[in-house]
Amino acid sequence: MILKKEGGTYRACFSLLEALDLGERRDVRVCAAGAGGKTTLLKRLASEYKERGIPAVVTTTTRMYAEDDPRFLLEPSPAKMREILEREGVVFLGKKDRNGKMKAPGKEWMQDILDLPFPVLIEADGSRRLPVKVPGEAEPVFPEETTHVVYVYGMSALGRSLEEICFRPERAAALLGRRKESLVEEADIARLAEHPLGGRKSVRDAWPFTVVLTQADRPGRLEAAERIGLLTGEQVLIC
């Protein structure tokens, strides 16, 4: 179940497609950025499309893990892509990289992907699986065709120091006016989420922007996530 902030309360949604108001649209280009959990989020979204009989592509503009999975295709082959989509309903596209990762497809192949007549779900930065991320100078990498942006934060960050749980803690400390040794508070995540150099970095006004608070399934974290959601003016999902 997913909780979606509506005004000063939350409404239960039973799918990401419902929570993000995507319906059965095939023209979306959803970019996920922020903390660890982006791949899991995009996989869930792709599975929901598959359940509705809509094929979906997952790719990256930076890097993501390349699993030993028949749904992964690490070469520009439209024929193999169609074969995987027909068989699996979902395909992960990229280019082979080092250390078990895949990187963004080549420029022409990426453009072909973005021109496909069905949903394309894009991992737009990395986080080393940490629960808080502040983007670097060249991040996130959103293509021109982007239609929606989701930015992820993990509730396991609360009560731990920025230097322990944040990717680029020095940037986070500077944005928050705190020290790297400072313990993360609820208000910190809310402030980072809506900061123009934090969650909002490079997000255009025309793109619907959603903050996704994950890891809220342990005692106390759900209530904390609800409070964080109410501290920010952004659209918020809790899952």
C-alpha to C-alpha distance for 222 and 26, rounded to whole angstroms: 32
Confidence (pTM): 0.96
CATH topology of domain 2-238: Rossmann fold (3.40.50)
C-alpha to C-alpha distance for 178 and 19, rounded to whole angstroms: 33
Phi/psi for 98 (5° steps) reads -80, 165
Domain ranges of the chain: 2-238
Nearest to 95 by CA among 71, 67, 73, 111: 73
Per-residue pLDDT of the chain (239 residues; tens, 9 = 90+): 899 999 999 999 999 999 999 998 999 999 999 998 999 999 999 999 999 999 999 999 999 999 999 999 999 999 999 999 999 999 999 999 988 899 999 999 999 999 999 999 999 998 889 999 999 999 999 999 999 999 999 999 999 999 999 999 999 999 999 999 999 999 999 999 999 999 999 999 999 999 999 999 988 999 999 999 999 999 999 99
